[in-house]
Structure 1
Amino acid sequence: MRDLRHKLDRTWMTASRLTPQSGGRCVMFISAREGEGTSSVAASFALMAARKSQKSTWLIDLDLRRNAMFAAFENGFVRDAGEPGRAFDASLKTDPIYTLTPPGVDRGSPNAANKLFTVHEIKKTRLLVSRFRNEEMRAGQRVQLRTQPEWWRTVRRAADWVVVDAPALSRSPAGLAMAAQMDGVIIVMEADSTGAEELIGLRREIETHGGTVVGIVMNRMGADARFADRLAG
């Protein structure tokens, strides 16, 4: 994962023009395939948002089993941000945005299964990064995301920005399930690699699921990250 903040000024300008449904702005980054740099773009954008936030910025990693965002900050993703701090319950007293199959966990209160999703304040910033507590799951148990509009409305009230890192569509449809909850969706593509048909197909999928695509980041990792403001057509 790389720090791309110095290359995302136009992305920031476009996202800042989004009109939130209520409360803080909510923007999602997604790609068609793995390895296109989506997590680098999302984390970098979230750091930019945190510096401008009066309340806080929440960085939500929808790839619950990997927790790649949390691991990146834990491993010193950027020099001017600290390590993740203590865990806070991210359930926000609402139904969780995930389900467990079979339900329940082995220990704790009857509601323990609803509190596996946490956020951690990144020291020296106003950024909170999500983590799913996979270690509390039973052997063979599965976790699946589900749409919970009330949770998204609640987190918007708690934060100035909600930045969502969705897994690539080739890996999981999780981003599509949450697209309708966003103010805008930004597609990340590896420049000179992802084909136009693939890009158009992803845009169509997002819009079919109620999302609004506001642009693309054409990403060359470590070389360039150019933003195309609002897709034509």
Structure 2
Amino acid sequence: MRDLRDRLDRAWLTASRLTPDGGARCVMFMSAREGEGTSSLAASFAMMAARKSQKATWLIDLDLRRNAMFAAFERGVFRDAGAPGRAFDASLRTDPIYMLSPPGLERGSENADKKLLTVHEIKGTRLLVSRFRNEELRPGQRVQLRTQPAWWDTVRRAADWVVVDAPALSRSPAGLAMAAQMDGVIIVLQADSTGAEEVMGLRREIETHGGRVIGVVINRIGADARFADRLAG
């Protein structure tokens, strides 16, 4: 993961114009394929948002089993941000955005199932980064995301920005499941690896699932202006 804040000026301006009905602006980053730099851009955008937040910015990693976003902050990917601090319960007294199969933890507490998602304040910032407590799952137990509008509404009230890092569509449909809860979705791609038709297909999928695409961030586009023109058309 890399600090890409210098590539996000246009995305920031576009997202700043969003006018949600109430609470935080909620923006998701998503790509068609793995390896497009989505997590780097989502984390970088969240760092920008945290600097301008009065309450907080929540950075939600939808790839629950990997917790790659939390691990990146543990490694110190941003020089001007500290390590993740203590864990806070992210259930917010509402049903979570995941379900367990089969349900129930070894200690037999239904409420414990609802408290596996935590957020950690990044020291020196107003950023909170999510982490899923995989170590609490039983062997063979699976976790699956589900749409919970009430949870998203509660997060919005607690923050100024909510930034969501979705796994690539080639790996998981998690981003599509959450697209309707977002104010806007930003598609991420590398011009040398993903065709315009593939990106437009992702855009159609997002819109079919109730999402709104507000922009495309192209990594390492170089001189391939024709590719950018096809996306803008």
Superposition TM-score, scaled by structure 1 size: 0.94
Gaps (5+ residues) in structure 1?
none
Q: CA RMSD in A?
A: 1.7
Deviations 1:118-164 (A, max 9, x none): 00000000000000000000000000000000000000000000000
**SS of 1:115 mapped into structure 2:** coil
Q: 5 Å matches for 1:95-110?
A: 95-107=95-107, 109-110=109-110
Question: How far did residue 167 of structure 1 move?
Answer: 0.1
1:149 aligns with 2:155: no
Query: Aligned partners of 2:120, 2:183: CA distance in 1, in Å?
Result: 24
Matched to 1:83, the amino acid is A
Superposition TM-score, scaled by structure 2 size: 0.94
1:128 aligns with 2:164: no
Gaps (5+ residues) in structure 2?
none
The residue number in structure 1 matching 2:201 is: 201
Query: Aligned partners of 2:52, 2:169: CA distance in 1, in Å?
Result: 30
Matched to 2:136, the amino acid is E
Query: Aligned partners of 2:61, 2:110: CA distance in 1, in Å?
Result: 26
Question: How far did residue 109 of structure 1 move?
Answer: 3.7
Matched to 2:95, the amino acid is D
Question: How far did residue 192 of structure 1 move?
Answer: 2.5
**SS of 1:176 mapped into structure 2:** helix
Identity of aligned residues (%): 82
1:187 aligns with 2:190: no
The residue number in structure 2 matching 1:57 is: 57
Query: Aligned partners of 1:159, 1:27: CA distance in 2, in Å?
Result: 13
Runs of 4+ residues over 3 Å off in structure 1:
none
Deviations 1:191-218 (A, max 9, x none): 2221011011000000000000011000
Between Structure 1 and Structure 2, how many residues are aligned?
228
Q: 5 Å matches for 1:1-233?
A: 1-107=1-107, 109-220=109-220, 232=232
